[in-house]
């Protein structure tokens, strides 16, 4: 019997780059192939009052809502081949080593999340670990909402103005709070 070979893939980029859409594309491919998988999303992502992963284009799939990395283990069984996780940046940094251990057991892990926070810095230690440990990183860009060039930053907007550097790091939201911006149009 062949040993399953696991891998860790990270889909990253700014808000509105299509990270969740790309995650859903991978899920739909497995659905067509009739493969077994699990989809998780963090409890903190309360933009939609539902147990679904939903893209900005309103495409969606069912998901298990979890508050901690330990909850993943209770859903695993021998039939599962791939684990999908959306909004990976909202989990504690221990999730990176936990998922790397699962790749050693043969699981395919595909995670999507922001690479940078609204301050233009790595989002947190979780995303730093994932980017370092990943077998494959797919870095997406969006379209700058100011000049329409390639955008790699998430500009937080509060009352029509760019957020201040010392504003709280986490503000879960969508188009009401964020814009994609290129390096030239990004303001902090």
Segment 62-68 long-range contacts (CB within 8 Å, at least 24 positions apart): 63/39, 64/38, 64/39, 64/40, 65/40, 65/41, 66/40, 66/41, 66/42, 67/42, 67/43, 68/92
Catalytic residue among 87, 94, 176, 179: 87
Alpha-carbon distance 34 to 149, whole Å? 39
Alpha-carbon distance 135 to 141, whole Å? 20
Whether the Cβ atoms of residue 138 and residue 10 lie closer than 8 Å to each other: yes
Catalytic status, residue 94: no
Alpha-carbon distance 9 to 138, whole Å? 8
Burial status of residue 2 (CB atoms within 10 A of its CB: 0-12, 13-18, 19 or more): exposed
Active site residue ranges: 87
């Amino acid at each position: 019997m062949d040993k399953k070979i696991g891998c860790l893939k990270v889909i990253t980029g700014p808000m509105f780059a299509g990270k969740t859409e790309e995650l859903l594309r991978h899920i739909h491919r497995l659905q067509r192939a009739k493969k077994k998988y699990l989809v998780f999303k963090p409890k903190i992502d309360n933009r939609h009052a539902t147990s679904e992963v939903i893209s900005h284009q309103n495409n969606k799939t069912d998901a298990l809502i979890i508050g901690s990395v330990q909850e993943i283990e209770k859903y695993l069984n021998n039939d599962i081949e791939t684990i999908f996780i959306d909004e990976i940046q909202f989990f504690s940094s221990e999730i990176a080593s936990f998922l790397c251990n699962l790749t050693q057991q043969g699981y395919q892990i595909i995670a999507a999340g922001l690479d940078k926070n609204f301050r233009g810095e790595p989002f947190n230690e979780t995303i730093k670990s994932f980017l370092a440990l990943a077998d494959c990183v797919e870095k997406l860009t969006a379209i700058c909402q100011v000049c329409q060039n390639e955008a790699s930053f998430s500009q937080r907007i509060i009352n029509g103005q760019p957020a201040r550097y010392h504003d709280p790091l986490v503000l879960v939201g969508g188009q009401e709070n964020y814009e994609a911006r290129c390096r030239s149009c990004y303001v902090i």
